[in-house]
């Protein structure tokens, strides 16, 4: 049961925006939401709907019972005003108060709150985006959490994120096989499919029909060949297509899968990240205590350039890069079984050298690898001729992860 408060009032928009301006403004709004905390939790994890129409922002929020929606609306208004948002409409859901306890909820909520209503002076010119509004109260800013400040998960020893700068390089195929290879080496393994643009773990692990159960408001991961698996895909239905998701909403869903899941005791939780280096990746890097990242790339120049961006992002967020995997780097001739690097050699090696990160392995481009994941029985599970490549990568990961172990007196968890 939840109580619902509608603060919404529609007003017409005026200013046309170029797509670039819109993207920049959306990104700025996302950053404010990601950095604004209710209690100790980012409000981004509470956003269930978000729409911006010119200078109007509509937020659907599921807030904790003790929160103060009016204060939140007012503070967000101040923070978002410099980014061109003049009015915030909030649809707030609060848990119903317990019987007999009386409601601590505000009796009457404003229908609409102008972002700057609470200021002693109104904004000089809302059309002037360069206006820093010195008359306004200084924005409430909080430093984003860093890896060093994140508490380790009580039941997960290592969290590995698998990332790629670019889509379609075979990140998910590599993730699923690495997870199975880590398991084959004797580890307890979980997989969190966080690829909002194309969640594919359930299909690749052959459990697309199985939905995670809820137990005491906690997700119970699906058991996929002994791997505890949860996918963002399970939270998507109907119109909730992932491509329509903006940063805060997607991040909220992912944080829910991480936090509100009854993960069993695991040696490794392998996270299949969305491709790219946008806000979602950055936020996850700031909110989940990650031991290290694996970057998947292909020999193509563009993919390598994007992989570099990925490495730089992890460097900035102080997440060790465990290494680079070069996928589709080798070709095995189906007639004579001869394997060679037909796309050129050394792409992954060069990157590894340039950024001082290990090359974990090179994988062949082979129709067998694709055929196996397509039928839900990846190479490692099928123990086919490609399984040894993934096992070798998993062994390298295990070796490298120990190198990144931090001394106990360091507060970092890795
Ligand atoms: N080494 C390989 N040899 C042959 N096919 C491969 C190989 N690796 C991946 N593929 C195939 O390439 C396609 C894309 O792979 P995959 O979905 O793993 O990429 P991705 O990087 O996760 O993509 P996205 O980021 O768009 O989700 C799939 O059809 C997959 O079967």
pLDDT of residue 122: 33
Structural domain boundaries enclosing 42 = 2-95
Do 253 and 386 belong to one domain?
yes
pLDDT of residue 412: 35
Closest residue by Cα to residue 391 from 223, 178, 152: 178
Do 166 and 308 belong to one domain?
yes
Give, in order, the Cα–Cα distances in Å from 404 to each of 323, 357, 399. Answer: 12, 12, 9
- Candidates 165, 168, 365, 372: which one to mutate for ligand 1, based on the most atoms within 8 Å of Cβ? 168
Q: Write the CATH number for 51.
A: 3.30.70
pLDDT of residue 237: 53
Nearest residue (by CA) to ligand 1, atom 23, is 168
Do 90 and 156 belong to one domain?
no
Do 285 and 199 belong to one domain?
yes
Which of 95, 117, 132 represents a domain boundary (last residue)?
95
Residue 165 assigned ligand-binding role: yes
Distance CA 6, CA 301 (A): 50
Domain count, the chain: 2
Do 340 and 244 belong to one domain?
yes
Domain membership of residue 173 (yes or no) is: yes
Supply the ipTM of this predicted assembly.
0.97
**Beta carbons within 8 Å of 1's beta carbon, 6+ residues apart:** 95, 96
Residue 167 assigned ligand-binding role: yes
Do 397 and 264 belong to one domain?
yes
Task: List the chain residues with pLDDT less than 70.
Answer: 1-16, 19-20, 23, 45, 48, 96-145, 236-248, 277-280, 301-303, 332, 334, 341-346, 404-414
Do 181 and 82 belong to one domain?
no
Nearest atom in ligand 1 to 175's CA: 18
Give, in order, the Cα–Cα distances in Å from 180 to each of 47, 359, 374, 398. Answer: 34, 20, 16, 13
Closest residue by Cα to residue 386 from 203, 173, 189, 164: 173
Do 330 and 195 belong to one domain?
yes
Do 243 and 319 belong to one domain?
yes
pLDDT of residue 267: 95
Distance CA 277, CA 144 (A): 17
Do 91 and 227 belong to one domain?
no
Nearest atom in ligand 1 to 166's CA: 25
What tokens does 114 get?
């102008």
Do 84 and 163 belong to one domain?
no
Q: Write the CATH number for 220.
A: 3.40.50.300
Do 363 and 267 belong to one domain?
yes
Locus of tokens 């990157």: 351
Domain membership of residue 62 (yes or no) is: yes
198 lines ligand 1 (CB under 6 A): yes
């Amino acid at each position: 049961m939840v109580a619902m408060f509608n603060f919404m009032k529609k007003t017409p928009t005026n200013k046309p925006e170029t797509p670039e301006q819109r993207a920049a403004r959306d990104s700025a709004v996302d950053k404010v939401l990601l950095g604004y905390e209710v209690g100790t939790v980012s409000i981004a994890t509470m956003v269930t709907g978000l729409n911006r129409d010119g200078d109007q922002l509509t937020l659907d929020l599921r807030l904790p019972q003790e929160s103060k929606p009016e204060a939140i609306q007012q503070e967000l208004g101040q923070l978002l005003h410099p980014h061109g948002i003049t009015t915030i409409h909030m649809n707030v859901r609060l848990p119903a108060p317990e019987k007999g306890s009386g409601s601590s909820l505000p009796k009457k909520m404003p229908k609409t709150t102008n972002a700057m209503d609470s200021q002693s002076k109104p904004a000089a010119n809302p059309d002037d985006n360069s206006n820093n509004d010195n008359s306004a109260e200084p924005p409430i800013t909080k430093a984003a959490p860093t890896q060093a400040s994140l508490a380790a998960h009580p039941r997960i020893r290592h969290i590995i994120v698998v990332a790629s700068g670019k889509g379609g390089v075979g990140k998910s195929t590599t993730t699923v096989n690495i997870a199975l290879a880590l398991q084959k080496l004797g580890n307890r393994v979980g997989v969190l499919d966080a690829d909002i643009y194309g969640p594919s773990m359930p299909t690749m692990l052959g459990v697309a029909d199985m939905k995670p159960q809820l137990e005491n408001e906690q997700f119970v991961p699906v058991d996929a060949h002994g791997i505890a698996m949860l996918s963002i895909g399970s939270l998507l239905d109907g119109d909730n297509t992932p491509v329509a998701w903006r940063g805060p909403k997607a991040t909220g869903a992912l944080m829910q899968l991480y936090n509100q899941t009854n993960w069993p005791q695991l040696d490794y939780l392998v996270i299949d990240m969305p491709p790219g280096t946008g806000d979602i990746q950055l936020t996850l890097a700031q909110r989940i205590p990650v031991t290290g990242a694996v970057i998947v790339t292909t020999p193509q120049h563009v993919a390598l350039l994007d992989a570099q961006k990925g490495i730089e992002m992890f460097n900035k967020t102080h997440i060790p890069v465990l290494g680079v995997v070069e996928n589709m780097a080798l070709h095995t001739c189906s007639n004579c079984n001869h394997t060679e690097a037909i796309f050129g050699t050394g792409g992954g090696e060069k990157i590894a050298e340039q950024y001082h990160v290990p090359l974990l392995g090179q994988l062949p481009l082979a129709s067998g690898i694709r055929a196996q994941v397509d039928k839900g029985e990846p190479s490692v599970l099928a123990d086919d001729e490609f399984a040894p490549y993934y096992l070798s990568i998993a062994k390298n990961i295990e070796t490298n992860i120990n190198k990144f172990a931090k001394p106990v007196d360091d507060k970092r968890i890795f």
